[in-house]
DNA sequence: TCTGGGGTCCTGTGCCGC
DNA sequence: TCTGGCGGCACAGGACCC
């Protein structure tokens, strides 16, 4: 059996742990630049603030009902997530951390356990130790565990936040209940396509001939279909090695000036280099993109990307920065208001075993220089920069409603008098 | 005025070499 | 020497997830 454990309204719940006055009130947490609502309390959901809604469109609801609006505080959420995951692994060793607020678990050798009471004990412990409420769905496959988790969340008074989908009767009842786009892996586009051929709910999808699914959709949908039938196709993915690393941002204000754009992209490339070094990887390929604001139909649009195949695998800030800047110069067009840019590194290889080039290899001094740079920056804050970065950095992400970093910054720790 | 970021995977297209 | 078919590859773009 598999279980999916999911933190309820995770970002809002993290905020509530340290600020209990938010309990019972409608609360939303916003995305970067305070753009969209990406986490909502039950009260805010009831008021009709949708997931991912641009917050300026819902100002009247927010003002009318005194909805508390917060900027996202990632250091806090990352630390709380770590606490929750550590607590879970004390109960079950087979764990796949699927996202910041979700984990899949595998119950192997738990045949003699009462899974309901074991899962309830786990969620009570998490609540007690971290303050974060969770829901647990248990089923024979990962896809069904997802559905089971939805049931646990949707009917809290009946399920007490733990639901076990363990019989054919429960399975077919659940599949008849949930619409297509509630199935893990079936999004907006695909559910529309399936609706057009007469599928109304998950059950209709499961009853489609396998051959048809394979030839008209893809192998991914076929796997989902089998999982929903109760045939396990997806196992725990415990060792997750990243295949790409990205740093991308929307700008608070549009950028139409090449040197300013270069400065931003430079910072993104350095951030990617740092992330690479942190996980002891080198990259072979770097993708740089710049894009105007596609919501502004009245302005001239430009969206462009460059794939840079590097001469040798690297995680050197200097090398990545140089190529990123060349790519921007190459793509930049005058009189365009750029709204977003990013750097993605991919084709990653481990730091300690990679193919050396015949003609060109990295300057051997970079390695120790980077090590020193990372050490100084981690000890004293971002003290060392490259000269082409804006040394008096004026731009800053919009975060008007940021809560303190209660658990990760000494100055922000709550004082008890 | 104001619309996120970080991932994975798949598909279509164009090019190249056999 | 030319041509068509085909597989492999790179790349752009899209769908999906949280």
CA-to-C1' span, A124 to C12 (A): 48
The beta-strand segments (E) located in A71-202 are: 95-99, 102-106, 134-139, 162-164
CA-to-C1' span, A354 to B2 (A): 46
Nucleotides of C under 7 A from a protein CB: 10-18
Spatial distance between the Cα atoms of A179 and A58, rounded to a whole number of angstroms: 26
CA-to-C1' span, A347 to C4 (A): 34
The mean per-residue pLDDT over the stretch A291-318 comes to 89
Question: Is the CB of A35 less than 7 A from some atom of nucleic acid strand B?
Answer: yes
- Which of A73-82, A335-344, A401-410 is predicted least confidently? A401-410
Spatial distance between the Cα atoms of A176 and A198, rounded to a whole number of angstroms: 14
CA-to-C1' span, A281 to B11 (A): 29
CA-to-C1' span, A220 to B9 (A): 9
**pLDDT band per the 50, 70, 90 thresholds, residue A86:** very high
Residue A215 has what pLDDT?
A: 74
Residue A297 has what pLDDT?
A: 81
Residue A119 has what pLDDT?
A: 97
With 80 as the cut, is the pLDDT of residue A69 above it?
yes
% of chain A exceeding 90 in pLDDT: 59
CA-to-C1' span, A309 to B17 (A): 21
| A110 close to A104: Cβ distance less than 8 angstroms | no
Residue A386 has what pLDDT?
A: 74
With 90 as the cut, is the pLDDT of residue A152 above it?
yes
| A395 close to A252: Cβ distance less than 8 angstroms | yes
Closest residue to C17 (CA to C1') is A185
The mean per-residue pLDDT over the stretch A171-193 comes to 90
- The model's pLDDT over A186-199, given as tens digits with 9 standing for 90+, comes to 888 888 888 888 88
With 90 as the cut, is the pLDDT of residue A376 above it?
no
The mean per-residue pLDDT over the stretch A387-411 comes to 76
**pLDDT band per the 50, 70, 90 thresholds, residue A342:** very high
With 90 as the cut, is the pLDDT of residue A143 above it?
yes
Residue A357 has what pLDDT?
A: 63
- The pair of structure tokens assigned to A81 is 């997530």
Question: Is the CB of A54 less than 7 A from some atom of nucleic acid strand B?
Answer: yes
**pLDDT band per the 50, 70, 90 thresholds, residue A213:** confident
One-letter-per-residue 3-state SS of A386-415: CCCCCCCCCCCCCCCCCCCCCCCCHHHCCC
Nucleotides of B under 7 A from a protein CB: 1-11
Contacting residues 291-310/A vs strand B (CB within 7 A): 293, 295-296
With 70 as the cut, is the pLDDT of residue A391 above it?
no
How many other C-beta atoms lie within 10 A of the C-beta of residue A276?
24
Closest residue to B8 (CA to C1') is A243
- Which of A159-168, A327-336, A408-417 is predicted least confidently? A408-417
* Whole-number average pLDDT of chain A: 89
Contacting residues 237-296/A vs strand C (CB within 7 A): 285, 287
With 80 as the cut, is the pLDDT of residue A394 above it?
no
With 80 as the cut, is the pLDDT of residue A202 above it?
yes
Residue A204 has what pLDDT?
A: 92
CA-to-C1' span, A308 to C6 (A): 28
Token pair 């920056």 in the structure block, residue: A377
Three-state SS at A293: coil
Question: Is the CB of A322 less than 7 A from some atom of nucleic acid strand C?
Answer: no
The mean per-residue pLDDT over the stretch A44-64 comes to 92
- The model's pLDDT over A350-365, given as tens digits with 9 standing for 90+, comes to 887 666 665 666 777 8
% of chain A exceeding 70 in pLDDT: 94
């Amino acid at each position: 059996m598999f279980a999916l454990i999911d933190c309820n309204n995770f970002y809002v719940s993290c905020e509530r742990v340290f600020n209990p006055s938010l309990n019972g009130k409608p609360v939303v947490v916003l995305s970067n630049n305070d753009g969209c609502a990406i986490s909502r309390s039950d009260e805010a959901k009831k008021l009709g603030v949708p997931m991912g809604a641009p917050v300026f469109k819902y100002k009247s609801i927010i003002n009318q009902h005194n909805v508390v609006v917060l900027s996202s505080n990632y250091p806090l959420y990352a630390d709380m997530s770590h606490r929750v995951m550590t607590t879970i692994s004390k109960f079950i060793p087979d764990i796949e951390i699927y996202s910041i607020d979700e984990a899949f678990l595998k119950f192997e050798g738990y045949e003699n356990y009462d899974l309901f009471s074991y899962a309830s004990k786990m969620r009570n412990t998490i609540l007690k130790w971290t303050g974060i409420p969770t829901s647990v769905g248990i089923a024979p496959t990962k896809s069904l565990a997802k559905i089971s988790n939805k049931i646990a969340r949707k009917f809290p008074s009946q399920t007490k936040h733990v639901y076990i989908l363990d019989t054919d009767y429960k399975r077919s009842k659940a599949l008849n209940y949930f619409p297509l786009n509630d199935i893990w892996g079936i999004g907006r586009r695909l559910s529309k396509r399936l609706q057009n051929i007469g599928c109304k709910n998950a059950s209709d999808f499961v009853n489609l001939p396998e051959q048809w699914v394979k030839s008209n959709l893809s192998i991914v949908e076929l796997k989902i279909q089998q999982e929903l039938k109760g045939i396990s196709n997806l196992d725990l993915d415990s060792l997750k090695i990243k295949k790409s690393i990205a740093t991308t941002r929307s700008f608070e204000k549009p950028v139409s000036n090449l040197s300013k754009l270069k400065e931003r992209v430079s910072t993104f490339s350095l951030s990617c280099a740092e992330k690479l070094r942190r996980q002891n990887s080198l990259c072979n390929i770097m993708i740089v993109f710049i894009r105007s604001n596609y919501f502004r139909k009245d302005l001239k649009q430009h969206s462009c990307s460059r794939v840079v195949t590097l001469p040798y695998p690297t995680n050197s800030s200097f090398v990545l920065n140089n190529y990123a800047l060349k790519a921007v110069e190459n793509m930049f067009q005058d009189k365009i208001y750029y709204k977003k840019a990013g750097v993605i590194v991919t084709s990653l290889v481990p730091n300690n075993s990679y193919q050396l080039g015949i003609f060109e290899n990295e300057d051997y001094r970079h390695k120790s220089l980077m090590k020193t740079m990372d050490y100084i920056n981690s000890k004293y804050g971002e003290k060392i920069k490259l000269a082409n970065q804006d040394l008096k950095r004026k731009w800053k992400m919009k975060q008007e409603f940021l809560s303190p970093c209660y658990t990760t910054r000494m100055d922000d720790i709550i004082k008890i008098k």
